[in-house]
Amino acid sequence: DYNQQKAELSLLTAVDQLSLTLISISTPAPDSFCPKRFFKTCGLNKKSPQDVKKVFGILDDDASGFIEEEELKFILQRFNPGARVLTDKETKAFMCAADDDSDGRIGAEEFQAMISS
């Protein structure tokens, strides 16, 4: 269920008060979101591949095996419910940065590659 997933995501990413502050500072205004900086700030790039895969599963809201543009818009809110929604420009830039095979969606391997790069 959603609340359980939210709790798992918080545990997996070890988002403490300082990290939440850093996340808010690093994405304050529309069109300022940088996926790589975001994942480094919240510490996901230091998690095990298994933990990254679990986070991917949480972000894949419809359990399709892929993260689509509509799911990307709400990525900040999955880490911090009070965060803003990504703009269309940010969502498209995020998709371009992670969608290596250009199929319009991010698979688990693509997500892992983006996190670890």
Residue range 3-37, pLDDT digits in tens: 666 555 554 544 455 455 555 555 568 888 888 88
DSSP state string for the chain = -HHHHHHHHHHHHT--HHHHHHHHHHS-STT---HHHHHHHTTGGGS-HHHHHHHHHHH-TT-SSEEEHHHHTTHHHHH-TTSPPPPHHHHHHHHHHH-TT-SSEEEHHHHHHHHH-
Is 103 labeled as ligand-binding?
yes
Confidence of residue 111 (pLDDT cuts 50, 70, 90): very high
Place of tokens 């895969």: 53
Is 101 labeled as ligand-binding?
yes
Query: Which one is the CATH code of 2-116: 3.40.50.2020, 1.10.238.10, 3.90.1640.10, 3.40.50.300?
Result: 1.10.238.10
Is 68 labeled as ligand-binding?
no
Residue range 44-82, pLDDT digits in tens: 888 889 888 888 988 898 999 999 999 999 988 887 777
